[in-house]
């Protein structure tokens, strides 16, 4: 198993960040690691989405936990490797939040692919912050 966690503070309420998270087609605006994305239903537990990063084959993930204004978790299984990413929003005060991406990867190549999968999380979180703070 391989784990990783990364956080950022954002000058926005959890509800504003949640609106950005729930707009799955809009993820391309703040995540350069997405060339194409399609949600197959509502933003709720059990719904899948297909995502294609630049230069890589598309893959399908499933939302396994969704708690409005608090968190969502998606799971992707490719061959014998499973990647679970939790996107958590915590209120710091009335106008600030902390967003944390927590990743757990299991499978024979977990420690090899983990750093590659999470290498852009800092940039993604910074772009999310910029979008949420724009007003």
Residues 6+ apart with CB under 8 A from 7: 98, 99, 100, 101, 125
| pLDDT level of residue 13 (50, 70, 90 thresholds) | very high
- pLDDT value at 89 more than 80: yes
pLDDT for 97 equals: 98
The domains of the chain are located at 2-133
pLDDT for 135 beyond 80: no
Q: Which CATH number does 2-133 carry?
A: 3.30.530.20
Residues listed for the chain = 135
Residue 95 predicted with pLDDT over 90:
yes
- Return d(Cα 25, Cα 11) in angstroms, integer: 23
Report the percentage of the chain scoring pLDDT > 90.
98
Provide, rounded to the nearest whole percent, the portion of the chain with pLDDT above 70. 99
Written as one string, the DSSP assignment of 30-58 is T-TT-SEEEEES-SSTT-EEEEE-TTS--
Tens of pLDDT, residue by residue over 31-65, are 999 999 999 999 999 999 999 999 999 999 999 99
- pLDDT score of 14: 98
Calculate mean pLDDT across residues 103-113.
95
Phi, psi of 68, deg, nearest 5: -45, 130
Mean pLDDT, rounded, for 12-25: 98
Q: Which of 60, 88, 89 has its CA nearest to residue 75?
A: 60
Mean pLDDT, rounded, of the chain:
96
């Amino acid at each position: 198993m391989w784990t990783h966690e990364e956080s950022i503070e954002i000058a926005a309420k959890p509800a504003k960040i949640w609106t950005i998270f729930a707009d799955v087609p809009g993820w391309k605006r703040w995540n350069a690691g997405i060339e194409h994305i399609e949600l197959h239903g509502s933003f709720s537990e059990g719904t899948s989405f297909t995502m294609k990063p630049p230069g890589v084959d598309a893959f399908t993930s499933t939302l396994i936990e969704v708690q409005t204004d608090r968190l969502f978790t998606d799971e992707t299984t490719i061959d014998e490797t499973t990647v679970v990413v939790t996107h958590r929003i915590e209120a710091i005060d009335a106008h600030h939040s902390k967003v944390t991406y927590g990743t757990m990867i299991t499978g024979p190549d977990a420690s090899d692919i983990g750093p590659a999968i999470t290498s852009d999380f800092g940039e993604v979180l910074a772009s999310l912050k910029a979008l949420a703070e724009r007003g």
